[in-house]
Amino acid sequence: MSADTDDNTAKPKPPKPRGRPPGLPSIAIIVALVALAVAAWSVWRLQRATQAGQAARKQDSATIAALETRLAANDQQSQTGNHRLGALESGLDDVRSSVQGLNRRLANLETAYTNLSGQQQSGRDTLLLNDAEMLLRTGQQRYELFHDSAGALKAYSQAIEVLAQVQNPAYAPVRASATTERDALAAAAPPSRQATLDSLSGLRGKVASLPLAEPESMPPSSGKPGFWSRVGNAFSSVVKVSRENGRGGPLADPRYARQTLALDLAQAQESLLAFETPDYQTALQHADTTLAAQFDGNDAGVKDFATQLRNLLAQHATGPAPQLGGALAQLQSLRASQPAAPASAGSGAAKP
């Protein structure tokens, strides 16, 4: 025993191993299990993510393929549309060329129509001016040659209506001049002048019914008249000498009294139409003298006849004759100064 004790004393004792905590292996196992679980979960997640990525890639690939297909179809449609657009542009260019050609033709047609309208209007104005000139000349001649106031007024009125249809404003002064001459013509031939002419015509119609004055009783002769006495009586009934400026006395033969009175009234009418007022009054005075000398002054018809003659003598003298022809000369001057119009058909104006 002592020897063992000595051996134990002599040799150092080995270090006593440390003691491990009693739960460390369990913890290590748990940690390992947790790490293994985490690793498994990570792998599973990675696998799932990989699968999901693959699925997404496949879907994206399908989508891209579909988009590429659509894009190719769109490209094809775009090419087709471009082709069609090119065809439409080409057709549109043709249409534009056609429209431009039509516009040029339309412009040419408008120009031709304008020229034709101008020529037609010029020809129409020429016809109207021919009518107006003819009517103005007709009115002037009817008044100057025949003293036909009514016909002259009608001709001037028609000429004014024709001039109103002329489109050229240069002829407006001619219409104004014609209107002035027509007014002067109407004023120179008022209704009283026509009434006077009607009164004179009525008096001429009554001359045949007026009774002549009774011849004066001649003194009885003592014997049979001689040869020279009978010759003197015969010539005294045919030849009568009187003063030139008047009528010396009653007619030798009362049978000519009615013809003389009718001639005096006719002379009065003629002087009235010719605007010769002194001759008109002289003719009426001669008619009044003949009526008083040759007709029965006690008869009612003769008295009424004499009253009408005196009323005609008492009427106011008419004004001067109108001066016609100014409008016609103005129209001819304007037509001579205007450019020549195209030849046209003859005038077809109606006579007044």
Q: For residue 121, how far is the Cα from the chain centroid?
A: 13
* Alpha helices, H only, the chain: 2-10, 24-146, 149-164, 172-188, 191-206, 227-236, 257-273, 277-294, 300-314, 326-337
Rounded CA gap, 215 and 121, in Å?
A: 77
Rounded CA gap, 95 and 103, in Å?
A: 12
Position 75 confidence tier, pLDDT thresholds 50, 70, 90? confident
Structure tokens at 326: 């100014």
For residue 126, what pLDDT is reported?
A: 85
User: Higher-confidence residue: 282 or 218?
Assistant: 282
Find the range with the poorest average confidence among 21-35, 37-51, 52-66, 237-251: 237-251
Using the Cα atoms of residue 38, residue 44, residue 45 and residue 50 in order, give the sign of their dihedral: positive
Are residues 126 and 349 in contact, defined by beta-carbon separation less than 8 angstroms? no
Structure tokens at 352: 């007044």
In the block, residue with structure tokens 């020429």: 126
Rounded CA gap, 167 and 164, in Å?
A: 8
Position 156 confidence tier, pLDDT thresholds 50, 70, 90? very high
The single-letter code of the amino acid at 201 is S
The single-letter code of the amino acid at 334 is L
The pTM for the full model equals 0.43
Q: State in Å, rounded, how far the first CA of the chain is from the last one.
A: 194
CA-closest candidate to residue 132, choices 165, 99, 108, 91: 165
The DSSP-derived string for 175-219 is: HHHHHHHHHHHHHHS-HHHHHHHHHHHHHHHHGGGSPBPPPPPPP
Are residues 334 and 174 in contact, defined by beta-carbon separation less than 8 angstroms? yes
Structure tokens at 154: 């009608």
Tell me the pLDDT of the chain averaged across its residues.
Answer: 77
Tell me the pLDDT tens digit for each residue of 82-124.
Answer: 888 888 888 888 898 889 888 888 888 888 877 766 666 677 8
> What are the Cα distances from residue 27, in Å, to 30, 37, 39, 41, 242?
5, 15, 18, 20, 192
- Grouping H, G, I as helix, E, B as strand and the rest as coil, residue 271 is helix
Please check the confidence at residue 316 and state whether its pLDDT lies above 60. Answer: no
